[in-house]
């Protein structure tokens, strides 16, 4: 009988130890009284403008790397007249992008114009502007480092390789300050 009691006691101690080990693994290994909380970093937000066949056209602040479908959702969705077949819903938007959602049978083409802040953009972002290649993007960044921020979009013509003709082709794609908050 003594052996049977010892056997049961050993099983009970084993069960308690196993439960404690599982609890320790699930809760985590931290010091007593220390709480192990992981909070997500706040997402960087950017301004996007949407117009056309959406319920609530306007300017919206969305997470960086948001997609066109996210902006449409923020604007309350599309209207019954929207031509959603003309949209690239999974395209990622960038700061200053203007999205025009067309109506069915609308003559104008679907257009997303990225507006690039020439005072803050890196070379990859600058190369999103039609006509700006790697060398010209580097010149813009070098000019910015040497002379400070561009006060106006027209100041971009001070960069070697950008004249009046080039500027007229790209002016709708650039901004020099953050969009209003």
Topology of domain 116-175, per CATH?
DNA polymerase; domain 1 (1.10.150)
| Per-residue pLDDT at 131 | 84
pLDDT tens readout for residues 126-140: 887 888 889 999 999
Half-sphere exposure of 22 (CA within 13 A, CB side): 6
Going by pLDDT thresholds of 50, 70 and 90, the confidence category of residue 174 is confident
| Per-residue pLDDT at 169 | 86
Q: How many residues does the chain have?
A: 181
> Tokens representing 39?
């909070």
pLDDT tens readout for residues 44-82: 888 888 888 899 999 888 888 888 888 988 999 888 888
Q: How many angstroms separate the CA atoms of 51 and 102, rounded?
A: 9
CB 52 within 8 A of CB 68: no
Rg for the chain, CA atoms, rounded: 29
pTM here is 0.44
């Amino acid at each position: 009988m003594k052996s049977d009691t010892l056997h049961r006691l050993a099983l009970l101690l084993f069960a308690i130890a196993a439960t404690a080990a599982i609890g320790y693994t699930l809760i985590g290994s931290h010091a007593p009284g220390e709480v192990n909380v992981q909070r997500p970093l706040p997402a960087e937000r950017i301004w996007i403008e949407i117009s056309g066949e959406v319920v609530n056209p306007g300017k919206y602040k969305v997470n960086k790397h948001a997609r066109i479908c996210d902006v449409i959702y923020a604007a309350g969705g599309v209207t019954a007249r929207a031509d959603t077949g003309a949209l690239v819903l999974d395209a990622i938007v960038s700061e200053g992008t203007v999205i025009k959602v067309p109506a069915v049978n609308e003559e104008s083409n679907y257009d997303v114009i990225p507006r690039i802040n020439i005072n803050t953009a890196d070379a990859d972002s600058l190369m999103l502007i039609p006509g700006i290649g790697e060398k010209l993007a580097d010149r813009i960044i070098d000019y910015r480092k040497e002379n400070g921020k561009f006060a106006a979009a027209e100041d971009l013509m001070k960069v070697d390789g950008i004249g009046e003709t080039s500027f007229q082709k790209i002016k709708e794609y650039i901004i020099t300050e953050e969009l209003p908050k």
